[in-house]
Structures are given as structure tokens and as C-alpha cells.
Amino acid sequence: MPRILMTGASGGIGTSLRKLLPPIYPDLVLSDIKTPADLAPHEKFKAAELSDLAQVEAICEGVDGILHFGGYSVEGSWETILPSNIIGCYNLFEAARRKGVKRVVFASSNHAVGFYPRYHRIGTDVTPRPDGYYGVSKAFGEATGALYADKHGLKVTCLRIGNFGDKPLDHRRLSIWLKPEDMVQLCRIGLEHPDIHFEILYGASNNERSWWDNHRAYELGYRPAGRAEDFVAHAMAEQAKLKPDPVADFYQGGAFCSMGFSGDKSRIVE
């Protein structure tokens, strides 16, 4: 029975997967800086600060595979992103190597490629176009994952997650929504599929309005059950409550792109 470590256990994705993963991976070890408020007696939890390599090594001891969801999960200042998402991400891959962990699934994000316009359908092989320091940290994580796969033989899967949740929250999320059960399928591919060396896959459900070519995930057996179009009325009603934002509405990364934007608005074509 493989021992799986999940970092970021107190965050949004971690909290949801804590309920969905144990039937598949009974030997699940949870980690975060803070203990989940509702930690149950049967759950195994080890606190760790990602920016401290010794602490990260300690949680990797005896582990077969890692789901790395830890770190800062939205845009933040450089001072915030650097320790949690850059140093923390390096520490995770390096600790995994030192402790002989075989596989890592890294929670990358659509914000690594957020400055592609929505009209541009992209695959997983495009040049990163991050929409903030958070997106830069996700591109860094993908690059670090590739290095550890090629140089050290770690099997690495980066999931460029769209928007994880029970339903798509607005117009943009109709293109990028990821149902929790579909996330579980992607984690299983990363942790178990025999053909994994280094992969980048989009973390998106079966969304008709998708901007992403995710054929590699399907080749690896991904069969998402979520369909964003089933929630179109809800998403559009929520969208109607939002103010128009020309930069956010043009680029894939949405509001992360317009945050602090001082670029060339003439690149935005109606």
C-alpha cells in the first residue's frame, strides 16, 4: 500500500481531497503549516513549514508519492510568494529526491499561462506567460519538476489547475472549471500511471468552452465527469454581478491579469 503525502491539507483543494482520497489511498499523510480545524482522530497529520528544508525532509520520510498542493494559492507580493512557492517548491522536490520518493504531483495553475488571450487555444507545450508572481512561481515549479524528472528520475506530473470547486463560479470559470472527482482522477494518473516521466496536464473538467488542448490527459486515461455547461445559468447569473474589466475579460487569467496592470491596452482587441 503506497504512502501518499498531501501538502496543503488545510487549503481549499486539500480540504476537499481529504474526504475523497482515503478510500483510494488509505495510508494518506497530511501536511500544512497549520493543523486542519476539523482534523479527525483517524487522520495522520504532520505540520511543516515549506520554506524549511529540514522540516520538508522530515515529512517526506517513508513516502512513496506526494501531492504537492501546499504554498500560497493566489497572487501575492514577491515577499509572500518567494518563501512559500519558490523556496518551498524547491525544498519539496529536493526533499523528495533525498528521501527516495518516486512520484510528485505538483499543483501548477492556469496562471502560469494567464496572459494568453482567450481566443488562443493552447496546449501544454506553450511558453509560460504568467500573469503575476504567483504564476511565475507555478512556471518555476513546472521547470523544477522537469529538472528533477530528467536529472534524477523522479516521476513528475504538473497539473495546471483551472478553478477547482463544486461548480463554475462565473463566465470565465465555464472554460476552466475542475470538479473535485476529476481532480482525483488526475492525481491517480500522476501517482500510478506507468508511462509518467514528466507531464504537464490541464486540471479541467469536460468543459465545452475550454481554451486548452488537454489531449495528453485523455491519452493517459482521463475521463472527466464534470460538464461546466450544466451550470451555465448559475455562472452567467454570477457574472452579471461583476463589473466589466477589459483586461481581465480578454486574457485567460482573468482578474490576476488586471491586478496592477500598467501594460499596453491596445493589445486588447474587442
The residues that touch ligand 15L, with contacts defined as CB under 6 A, are: 73-74, 109-111, 161, 163
DSSP states of 10-49 as a string? Answer: TSHHHHHHHHHSTTT-SSEEEEESS--TT--TTSEEEE--
Closest separation in Å from C-beta 150 to ligand 15L? 26
Residue 134 annotated as catalytic: yes
Check 25, 116, 134, 148 and give the catalytic one: 134
Residue number with CB closer to ligand 15L (147 or 169) = 169
Closest separation in Å from C-beta 181 to ligand 15L? 18
Residue number with CB closer to ligand 15L (91 or 109) = 109
Closest separation in Å from C-beta 112 to ligand 15L? 9
**Pairing label, strands 4-7, 28-32:** parallel
Residue number with CB closer to ligand 15L (15 or 58) = 15
Residue number with CB closer to ligand 15L (155 or 179) = 179
Closest separation in Å from C-beta 177 to ligand 15L? 9
DSSP states of 37-101 as a string? Answer: TT--TTSEEEE--TT-HHHHHHHHTT-SEEEE--S--S---HHHHIIIIIIHHHHHHHHHHHTT-
How far, in Å, CA of 157 to CA of 184, rounded? 13
Residues annotated catalytic, as ranges: 134
